[in-house]
């Protein structure tokens, strides 16, 4: 990629952030619309889970393929293709005649979305080569997530109450088209120095692993062990096959030696934990505010602002802290705030008081605002630039997998606690919901504790040493392969 002026780099960052905005906004807007979907399409709890997880599951399954493909054939080309598919998928979602078709069209959206965020992050990584400038750019990237959280519930609530749930997908159309035109005009093409070969077997194993695991979790409360055991077995077999097959490939879908870096491995687990907490938090909160408190979609959106605004404000601060002091302090703040938020709901029933509900939302927003920048920065900063697409795709995959598992696990916990008879009356459902959601809040507190613990363990001198050794091995392997080809 040619050296760009400061203004051009800022423009590239803005264009990449537009793609993140529509992808992130889509999830937050949809969460506010879940009760409306439940009523209009007669959806069960598992049906609501699939409207979210069908998207995040396909996204998680294809992100690494998209990252490596972009490194091979051109990041700008793949990014533009993703904008086209995502925008088309959004249009189809708005026309879905029933829940099944909505789930299918959400999967089309996800195919496009898989070509956006990891590729955009790879473009940003190659555009901002100075570590401090890159950290600040990633902080801005994280702030867009906060912006989507702040705008999503409000925009979604307004659209659902005034027009209907189908209108939430219309927001993506003008933004997607504008981003497509700006990318064509201003974003330069870039590729990895040496193209990576496709890994179709690895890709199939990843899809089988994520899909079967999610299906087993979501459907477990609704069926017998005989119906879910095959899916769980397939997930285990796929994982074992992936661990055995990938190291044997000269150019695997994901080089497992990445995980010899303690910061990279820590960032991966932190991403899964933090985004599992986010997915579960939004899922439980939306259903509680509208189905238990009886708020409208717009009122529920306003109640989500105490979480969204701190996320928006803390993300750029986290980026600056990562650039100046490293990732440890932001991760400690993130893990501590998210743990306390979960404990407020698990131990003190924060839902029962407006003051504690507000405090729980603010703490979670602060924690999530601080966690994004250190995840992304750690995932890409210790890797050779030639691996930027794959490394950023692993970070993005971890986020989406975490959100998928968060919705699946907490939705399954909720479905197991809320009996079918509870749906017959509002009073019965409201009484059952609070007690049924209690284990879910404990899970969210545990996710925060994982972030806190790994924030300490994977940011010290020992951890940085493992990252340096892993980077040397990866670069040495790349150079030896290149020498063999040249010979």
Q: Contact at 8 Å (CB) between 369 and 130?
A: no
Averaged pLDDT for residues 385-399? 69
d(CA 416, CA 438): 12
Q: Residue 160's pLDDT is what? A: 86
Q: Residue 487's pLDDT is what? A: 44
Q: Is the pLDDT of residue 88 over 90?
A: yes
pLDDT interval class at 87 (50, 70, 90): very high
Lowest-confidence pick of 275-289, 321-335, 363-377, 408-422: 408-422
Query: Who wins on pLDDT, 17 or 142?
Result: 17
pLDDT interval class at 111 (50, 70, 90): very high
Q: Residue 485's pLDDT is what? A: 43
Query: Who wins on pLDDT, 173 or 156?
Result: 173
Residues shown for the chain: 487
pLDDT in tens, 469-478: 776 776 655 5
d(CA 344, CA 363): 10
Q: What percent of the chain has pLDDT over 70?
A: 86
Lowest-confidence pick of 111-115, 356-360, 383-387: 383-387
Average pLDDT for the chain = 81
Q: Is the pLDDT of residue 60 over 50?
A: yes
d(CA 262, CA 454): 10
Q: Contact at 8 Å (CB) between 450 and 339?
A: no
Query: Who wins on pLDDT, 333 or 249?
Result: 333
pLDDT interval class at 428 (50, 70, 90): low
C-alpha of 481 from chain center = 33
pLDDT interval class at 483 (50, 70, 90): very low
198 φ/ψ angles, rounded to the nearest 5 degrees: -65, 155
Q: Is the pLDDT of residue 153 over 80?
A: no
Q: Residue 390's pLDDT is what? A: 64
Query: Who wins on pLDDT, 313 or 109?
Result: 109
Averaged pLDDT for residues 342-355? 82
Lowest-confidence pick of 102-106, 147-151, 175-179, 300-304: 147-151
Q: Residue 384's pLDDT is what? A: 58
CB neighbours of 106 closer than 8 A, spacing ≥ 6?
51, 54, 55, 89, 93
d(CA 31, CA 25): 10
Q: Residue 312's pLDDT is what? A: 79
Q: Residue 477's pLDDT is what? A: 57
Cα-based distances in Å from 219 to 206, 232, 409: 20, 11, 10
pLDDT interval class at 396 (50, 70, 90): confident
pLDDT in tens, 317-337: 887 888 788 888 999 999 999
Averaged pLDDT for residues 438-449? 92
Averaged pLDDT for residues 15-38? 81
Q: Residue 341's pLDDT is what? A: 93
Q: What percent of the chain has pLDDT over 90?
A: 17
pLDDT interval class at 137 (50, 70, 90): confident
pLDDT in tens, 184-194: 888 888 776 66
């Amino acid at each position: 990629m040619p050296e760009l002026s400061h203004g051009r780099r800022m423009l590239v960052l803005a264009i990449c952030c537009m793609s993140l905005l529509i992808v992130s906004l889509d999830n937050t807007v949809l969460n506010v619309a879940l009760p409306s979907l439940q009523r209009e399409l007669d959806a069960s709890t598992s049906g609501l889970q699939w409207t979210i997880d069908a998207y995040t599951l396909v996204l998680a399954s294809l992100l690494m393929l998209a990252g490596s493909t972009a490194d091979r054939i051109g990041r700008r080309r793949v990014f533009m293709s993703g904008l086209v598919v995502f925008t088309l998928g959004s249009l189809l979602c708005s026309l879905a005649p029933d829940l099944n078709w909505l789930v299918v069209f959400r999967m089309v959206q996800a195919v496009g979305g898989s070509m956006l965020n990891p590729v955009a992050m790879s473009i940003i990584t190659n555009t901002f080569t100075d570590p401090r400038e890159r950290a600040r750019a990633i902080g801005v990237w994280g702030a867009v997530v906060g912006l989507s959280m702040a705008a999503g519930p409000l925009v979604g609530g307004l659209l659902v109450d005034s027009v209907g749930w189908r209108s939430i997908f219309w927001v993506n159309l003008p933004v997607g088209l504008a981003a497509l035109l700006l990318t064509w005009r201003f974003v330069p093409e870039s590729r990895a120095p040496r193209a990576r070969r496709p890994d179709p077997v690895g890709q199939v194993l990843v899809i089988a692993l994520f899909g079967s695991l999610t299906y087993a979790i979501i459907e477990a409360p609704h069926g017998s062990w005989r119906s879910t055991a095959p899916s769980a077995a397939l997930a285990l077999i796929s994982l074992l096959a992936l661990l055995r097959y990938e190291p044997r490939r000269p150019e695997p879908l994901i080089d497992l030696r990445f995980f010899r870096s303690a910061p990279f491995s820590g960032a991966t687990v932190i991403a899964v934990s933090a985004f599992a907490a986010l997915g579960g938090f939004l899922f439980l909160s939306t259903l509680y505010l509208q189905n238990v408190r009886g708020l409208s979609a717009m009122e529920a959106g306003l109640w989500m602002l105490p979480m969204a605004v701190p996320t928006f404000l803390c993300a750029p601060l986290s980026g600056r802290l990562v650039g100046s002091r490293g990732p440890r302090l932001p991760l400690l703040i993130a893990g501590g705030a998210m743990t306390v938020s979960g404990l407020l709901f698990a131990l003190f029933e924060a839902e029962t008081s407006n003051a504690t509900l507000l405090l729980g939302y603010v703490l979670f927003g602060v924690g999530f605002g601080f966690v994004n920048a250190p995840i992304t920065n750690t995932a890409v900063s210790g890797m050779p630039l030639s691996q930027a697409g794959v490394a950023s795709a692993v970070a993005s995959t971890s986020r989406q997998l975490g959100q998928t598992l968060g919705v699946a696990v907490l939705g399954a916990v909720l479905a197991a606690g809320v009996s079918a008879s509870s749906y017959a009356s509002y009073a019965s459902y409201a009484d059952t919901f609070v007690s049924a959601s209690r284990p879910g809040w404990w899970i969210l507190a545990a996710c925060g504790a994982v972030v806190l613990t790994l924030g300490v363990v994977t940011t010290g001198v020992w951890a940085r040493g493992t990252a340096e050794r892993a980077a040397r091995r990866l670069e040495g392997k790349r150079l030896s392969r290149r020498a063999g080809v040249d010979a």
